[in-house]
Amino acid sequence: ILSENRSLSIRGAQEEDPPDPQLMRLDNMLLAEGVSGPEKGGGSAAAAAAAAASGGASDNSIEHSDYRAKLTQIRQIYHTELEKYEQACNEFTTHVMNLLREQSRTRPISPKEIERMVGIIHRKFSSIQMQLKQSTCEAVMILRSRFLDARRKRRNFSKQATEILNEYFYSHLSNPYPSEEAKEELAKKCSITVSQVSNWFGNKRIRYKKNIGKFQEEANLYAAKTAVTAAHAVAAAVQNSQTNSPTTPNSGSSGSFNLPNSGDMFLSMQSLNGDSYQGAQVGANVQSQVDTLRHVISQTAGYSEALGGNTMYSPHGLNANGGWHDTTTPSAVISPTEGPGSVHSDTSN
DNA sequence: GTTTATGATTTGTG
DNA sequence: CACAAATCATAAAC
Question: pLDDT-based confidence at A109, cuts 50/70/90?
Answer: confident
A153 CA → C11 C1’, Å: 9
Q: Do residue A213 and residue A127 come from a single domain?
A: no
pLDDT higher than threshold 60 for residue A159: yes
> Cβ distance A335 to A175 under 8 Å?
no
Average pLDDT of the residues of chain A: 66
Q: Which nucleotide is nearest to A204 (CA to C1')?
A: B6
* Out of A152-166, A185-199, A227-241, least confident range: A227-241
Contact, A330 CB vs strand C, < 7 Å: no
| Pair A28, A114 in one domain | yes
Range ranked top by mean pLDDT from A108-117, A232-241, A283-292, A338-347: A108-117
Is A93 contained in some domain?
Answer: yes
Instruction: Identify the pLDDT of residue A134.
Output: 86
> Does any domain span residue A244?
no
Q: Which amino acid is at A19?
A: P
- Domain annotation covers residue A243: no
What pLDDT, on the 0 to 100 scale, is given for residue A17?
A: 57
Q: What is the pLDDT of residue A293?
A: 58
Percent of chain A with pLDDT over 70: 47
Domain-terminating residue out of A108, A128, A152: A152
Taking the C-alpha atoms of residue A44 and residue A128, their distance in angstroms, rounded to an integer, is 27
**Do A29 and A145 sit in the same domain of this protein?**
yes
Would residue A323 count as lying in a domain? no
**pLDDT over 80 at A66, yes or no:** no
Q: Are residues A26 and A100 in the same domain?
A: yes
Residues A119 and A174 in one domain: no
pLDDT at A325 over 50: yes
**pLDDT higher than 80, residue A219:** yes
Instruction: Confirm whether any atom of chain C, the nucleic acid strand, is less than 7 Å from CB of A116.
Output: no
- Total number of domains in chain A: 2
Distance measured from the CA of protein residue A218 to the C1' of nucleotide B1, in angstroms: 30
Give the whole-angstrom CA distance, residue A175 versus residue A197.
15
Instruction: Quote the pLDDT of residue A251.
Output: 36
Nearest to A86, CA basis, from A37, A35, A121:
A121
Per-residue confidence (pLDDT) for residue A309, from 0 to 100: 38
Q: Confirm whether A127 is domain-assigned.
A: yes
Claim to verify: residue A79 and residue A140 sit in the same structural domain = yes
User: For residue A111, what are the domain limits?
Assistant: 22-33+63-152
Q: Are residues A196 and A163 in the same domain?
A: yes
Burial class (CB in 10 A: 0-12, 13-18, 19+), A220: buried
- In this predicted model, what pLDDT tens digit does every residue of A328-343 receive, in sequence order? 444 444 344 333 433 3
The Cα–Cα gap between A122 and A117 comes to 9
* Dist CA A108 CA A232 (whole Å): 101
Query: Looking at the domain assignment, is residue A119 inside a domain?
Result: yes
Please give the Cα distance from A110 to A267 (Å, whole number). 108
Query: Which CATH number fits the domain that encloses residue A165?
Result: 1.10.10.60
**A29 and A108 both lie in a single domain:** yes
C-alpha distance from residue A38 to each of A70, A107, A169 (Å): 16, 48, 46
pTM reported for the whole predicted model: 0.47
What is the C-alpha to C-alpha distance for residues A36 and A109, in angstroms, rounded to an integer?
40
Answer whether A174's CB lies under 8 Å from A163's CB: no
Q: Say whether both A27 and A130 belong to one domain.
A: yes
A173 with A72, same domain? Answer: no
- Tell whether A130 and A81 lie within a shared domain: yes
Region A47-67: mean pLDDT is 46
